[in-house]
Amino acid sequence: MVQTEAALADGVVLDDDARHAAWEAQLKAAGAGQDDPVKRVEFIRWQVLRAGTPLRLMAQHHATGPIPLAAAHTASGLHLLLGVIAASQDAVAQGDVDTLAAQAEQLEAAREAQETAIGNTDILLNMLKSVGL
């Protein structure tokens, strides 16, 4: 029910404080309150996965064009970055180089996904430029 309220809050004109309160209520209801930053990031990561999966399915069809593909890559990159955050939440502050180093492969994959998203966006921008737009 709280997720429905948060979704409805996204669709109406609210000031930032009211919108943030709705989002915060959703996170708390999911057990991802401010007191557990890793759980919070994992919940947000799950939401990104839920949003990104239909994009990846859309992008499998060539006729959808480069923008759904760019969106799918962006979602994948964000999902990977959120995983890095969850896995290394306190590593920077603690100087935990080993934990950070263990995330290098995920960081590279996230970077590649973002670069691919930019490349797909550029395809459409270049097509528009080629017709004078």
Per-residue pLDDT of the chain (133 residues; tens, 9 = 90+): 566 666 666 677 888 898 888 888 888 888 888 888 889 999 999 999 999 999 999 989 988 889 999 999 999 999 999 999 999 988 888 899 999 999 999 999 999 999 999 999 999 999 999 998 8
Same domain? 69 vs 107 = yes
Region label for 31, one of left (φ > 0), alpha (ψ between -120 and 50) or beta (otherwise): left
Q: State the amino acid at position 17 in one-letter form.
A: D
Q: Report in angstroms the alpha-carbon separations of 111 from 26, 47, 51.
A: 30, 20, 19
Same domain? 71 vs 94 = yes
Same domain? 87 vs 49 = yes
Same domain? 11 vs 60 = no
Domain extent, residue 26, equals: 1-30
Report the alpha-carbon angle 88-90-95, nearest 5. Answer: 95
Count CB atoms within 10 A of the CB of residue 26.
Answer: 20
Same domain? 12 vs 76 = no
Domain count, the chain: 2
CA distance 76 to 57: 13
